[in-house]
Amino acid sequence: MKLVALLVLVACGKDADAPCTCVPANVAKITQHGAPIDSASVLALLRRHRTLIEQRAQGRDVKLVDDEIRIQVGALCQPCGDWVGDRMTFDEMFPMSRLDDATGAVCLGLTLRDGTTAFGERPTACRS
């Protein structure tokens, strides 16, 4: 089993515990709808996504918000945008179960009230 895991890591060329070679700025250099993309705007969209799901909104409405979230997260994660997969769910990107404790959002993580960050599927070594 260990041999299989080692072969997978070698084949993929990625080691979750390897030194981080890319640290996201968590600051977007673009604006969206005339407003800066920042921690608060991403958090607001994540909460909007959850509300739409709870209200069983039309799929089209949810998709619009989801696309906007992906754009904003991609902008915040630069220059490390390859972490954000096209098929990643928001639960993989962010620990959505911690959304009520969040005061902001960073690249694939939520800043919590106690000052810690709860990360999603961001490489372990790049969680700072």
32 domain residue, yes or no: yes
87 domain residue, yes or no: yes
What is the number of domains present in the chain? 1
82 domain residue, yes or no: yes
1 domain residue, yes or no: no
pLDDT of residue 13: 38
Domain that holds residue 48: 18-126
Least confident range from 9-18, 36-45, 107-116: namely: 9-18
Task: Give the DSSP letter string of the chain.
Answer: -HHHHHHHHHHHT--TTSPPS----S--SSEETTEE--HHHHHHHHHHHHHHHHTT--HHHHHHHHHHHHHHHHHHTTT-GGGS-TT--HHHHS-GGGGGGEEEEETTEEEETTS-EEESSS-GGG--
8 domain residue, yes or no: no
Average confidence (pLDDT) over 10-39: 69
